[in-house]
Amino acid sequence: MRAVLLLLFAVVSTSCVRVKVDRSTPATAERRQAEADVLVVVNRLWEAMRTNDSTMARSVFDSTAQFARIVDRDGARVVRWSRADNFVRAIGSATTPWIERMVAPEVRVDGNLASVWTWYDFSTGGKVSHCGYDSIELAKLLTGWKIIYISDTQQTTGCDKPPASR
């Protein structure tokens, strides 16, 4: 009886390990590729900002994309919404490069939904004007990954050192 139990345990253990490895290996490679593809889109937005290229910027957004910023107004904290189109127009009309730098972005992907969470600093004219965290949501559409939503925090102090190096 003892030998039968040991044999049964060995068979079950071996097959469980094999199933775990077989299922996780392809998903890991696919997930890494999806994460890389998502970062390509976000970096394309940063390049559009750097070159003041509204056409490139427009290409990374879904037509319904929105921005949300949480601001303090009259002693209350409110969400200020805006359309990505306004941001795209501002990129095209800027007279100096907008430099947004990500530090240690975290990318999460599940199927057709992706999220990028990153500390950033933003500079123009060679001077950092603000920093904070970006939360960028993307959807995988028939035309590829598109940004559907961006929210961020903004602070004007403490921008000299990213949190990862503090």
The confidence band for 164, taking pLDDT boundaries of 50, 70 and 90, is low
Query: Does residue 14 fall inside a structural domain?
Result: no
- 7 — pLDDT class (breaks 50, 70, 90): very low
Q: Alpha carbon 146 to chain centroid distance?
A: 11
DSSP secondary structure letters along 64-115? EEEEEEEEEETTEEEEEEEEHHHHHHHHHH-SS-EEEEEEEEEEEEETTEEE
In a domain, 66, yes or no: yes
**What pLDDT, on a 0 to 100 scale, did the predictor assign at position 41?**
98
Residue 1 has pLDDT above 70, yes or no: no
Helix (H, G, I), strand (E, B) or coil at 22: helix
Domain count, the chain: 1
Domain span at 55: 28-165
**pLDDT, position 161:** 80
Q: Which whole number is the average pLDDT over 123-138?
A: 95
70 falls within a domain = yes
Q: Is residue 3 part of a domain?
A: no
pTM for the whole structure: 0.79
pLDDT tens per residue, range 47-99 = 999 999 999 999 999 999 999 988 878 888 889 999 999 999 999 999 999 99
CATH number of the structural domain spanning residue 103: 3.10.450.50
The pLDDT of residue 163: 79
Token pair in block for residue 127: 């001077």
In a domain? residue 48: yes
Residue 3 has pLDDT above 60, yes or no: no
A 10 A CB-CB count for 166 gives 7
Question: Is 81 a domain residue?
Answer: yes
In 3D, which of 157, 154, 163 has the Cα closest to residue 135?
Answer: 154
